[in-house]
Amino acid sequence: MPSAGWCAKVRVMEIRQPPGPAGLLWPLAVMLLVFLLIELFGLDRRLAHAVYYDDVTRQWLGGGAGDWWAHRLVHDGGRWCVRGIAAGALAGWILSFLWPRARAWRQTSRFVFLALLLSTGVVGLLKMATNVDCPWDLTEFGGDRPYVTLFGDRPDGLPRAECFPGAHASSGFALVCFYFAWRDRSRRKARWALAGACAVGLLFSFAQEARGAHFLSHDLASATLVWAIQLGLYALMYRRTAAPD
């Protein structure tokens, strides 16, 4: 018969056990609501004019003198950094079949690699299919195309556009894979991973919006898609266990 101490320990573990995947749906609802508000009140262009684009000099904050940090450092450097993480996860996954000591990290490395691949891949495919212009292509921002809403009737004469959702932001937000990977092992590490991924995703978004490559809604859509994709992958791949700390 189980002892009282053992039963108490089990009850404590049950209390400390994090909620299942269904409890992580609320961020999707919040992000979708904010996205709808941005579209409803036309906040994309207002924010771009107020923060990123100088109507007098007709320059973007991340263009010209700012190209070194927005383009070369955050865009190019950040892209290769995330690719390096994905390559490391793939190497770890392969190594787990060759080296017995690495077997314990097989599920984690597999999840991280698949999460990064699926998140950036899906956003990249949608970007090619949605036919939405970049801010720098619009007449009010120095370009030669009219503004067309996401679900608006796009004139047939306009060239194809590939700017929605924001692909670069998705690679930053995709680092939330470490939150999901640690969530059932260590709440503390998972929280730090979530904060770090959000910070990187926001930095990538800021740099791209400062260049005129994307609007706020483009990057918010990426964050929403990344969360939905990785939440689904997490539900499929992980069995929930109690978090030890």
In the prediction, which pLDDT does 17 show? Answer: 52
* Consecutive 10-residue averages of pLDDT for the chain (245 residues): 46 48 88 96 96 96 96 97 98 93 90 98 96 97 94 90 96 98 93 98 98 98 98 85 42
245 and 112 Cβ atoms separated by less than 8 Å: no
SS3 content of the chain, % helix, strand, coil (to 5): 70, 0, 25
What are the C-alpha distances in Å from 12 to residues 15, 20, 191, 244? 5, 17, 21, 11
Alpha carbon distances (Å) from 227 to 6, 9, 35, 54, 128: 37, 33, 14, 33, 20
Residue-level pLDDT at 21: 72
pTM for the complete prediction?
A: 0.89
pLDDT for residue 53: 98
For the chain, which residues make up each domain, given as ranges?
Answer: 66-145+162-240
Read off the tokens for 98. Answer: 């060759």
Tokens 């009140």 label which residue? 41
